[in-house]
């Protein structure tokens, strides 16, 4: 009898431990941090395919989109706070808010945004936009070149992609690098957009490979203007990056595929 009671006690303690662990992970995942991996080229050069990030959940407040699977347990938004232009944010993409996207905030409610010849203007003033050295990206299984003409060989014999790169500085002083690869692409010249109340104008840093607020919202593609209530959080730090060459059955490739120099980069 004593042994059975001890076994039941141990089983109960273990179940209680699992419940506490699950609650801890749920709270951490919902209100503190969440992971995010980069699936596309839209945020190059800052983010490349194979990067893994931690997203801070607290900067903009909390909503149902803070919770796993967007469970509708939080009405509206608690402790709301608007992002700053230049923030890199993760959000639920319109129109259905089913997919997680990552883009950079360019403008907020009431701002007028227009792109002319690849240069962004906010409230009638062009943002500072200057050409800098090309972006060099090593060719790897998850990062091929868009076109053969961008390929070249560097001194160590490795093949890289070279893309035209620019430094862009917003009116609030936030500066970052962008890619503008093709001349006269579809998003290089737009109408003037007025950002509605409670919305954001978002763009990818890789301007010719990003379906963003320059285009009408369409499921799985462009996003149009994004409501602030769709925010999940702000990109915080890169915690891992892989070039896509790893194989699960070959554990040593997990280390050789890692881009160690990208780990620990903050935003």
Q: Which two tokens stand for residue 164?
A: 């035209």
Residue 42: active-site member: yes
CA dist., res. 52 & res. 64, Å (int):
23
Structure tokens at 102: 């990552």
Report residue 49: phi and psi, to 5°. Answer: -55, 130
Per the annotation, the verdict on 250 as an active-site residue is: no
Sheet of 119-122, strands arranged across:
125-126, 119-122, 112-116, 193-194
The C-alpha angle with vertex 191 and arms to 190 and 195, in degrees rounded to 5, equals: 110
Is there a contact between 261 and 267 (Cβ–Cβ < 8 Å)? no
**Tokens, residue 86:** 């230049």
SS (H, E, C) 23-57: HHHHHHHHHHEEEEECCCCCCCCCCCCCEEEEEEC
For tokens 């994004």, the residue is: 226
Of 34, 57, 103, 241, which is the active-site residue? 103
Collect all residues with Cβ–Cβ distance below 8 Å to 23 and sequence separation of at least 6. none
Taking alpha carbons only, the member of 155, 135, 130 closest to residue 145 is 135
Contact between 215 and 222 (Cβ < 8 Å) = yes
Of 116, 87, 84, give the one whose Cα is nearest residue 214: 116
Q: For the chain, how far is it from start to end, CA to CA, in angstroms?
A: 60
Instruction: List, by residue number, the catalytic residues.
Output: 42, 103
């Amino acid at each position: 009898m004593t042994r059975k009671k001890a076994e039941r006690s141990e089983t109960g303690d273990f179940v209680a431990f699992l419940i506490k662990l699950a609650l801890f992970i749920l709270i951490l995942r919902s209100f503190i941090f969440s992971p995010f991996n980069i699936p596309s080229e839209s945020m190059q050069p800052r983010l490349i395919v194979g990067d893994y990030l931690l997203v801070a959940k607290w900067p903009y407040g909390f909503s149902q989109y803070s919770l796993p699977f967007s469970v509708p347990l939080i009405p509206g938004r608690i402790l709301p706070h608007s992002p700053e232009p230049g923030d890199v944010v993760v959000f639920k993409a319109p129109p259905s808010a089913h997919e997680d996207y990552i883009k950079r905030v360019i403008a907020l409610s009431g701002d007028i945004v227009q792109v002319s010849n690849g240069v962004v203007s906010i409230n009638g003033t062009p943002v500072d936009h200057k050409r800098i050295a090309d972006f060099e990206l090593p060719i790897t299984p998850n990062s091929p070149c868009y076109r053969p003409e961008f390929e070249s060989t560097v001194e160590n014999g490795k093949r890289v992609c070279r893309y035209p790169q620019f430094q862009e500085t917003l009116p609030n002083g936030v500066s970052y690098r962008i890619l503008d690869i093709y001349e006269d692409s579809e998003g290089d010249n737009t109408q003037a957009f007025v950002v509605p109340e409670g919305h954001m104008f978002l763009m990818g840093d890789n301007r010719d490979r990003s379906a963003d607020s320059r285009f009408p919202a369409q499921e799985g593609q462009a996003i149009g203007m994004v409501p602030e209530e769709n925010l999940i959080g702000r990109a915080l730090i890169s915690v891992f990056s892989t070039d896509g060459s790893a194989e699960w059955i070959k554990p040593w490739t997990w280390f050789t595929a890692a881009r160690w120099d990208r780990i620990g980069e903050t935003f």
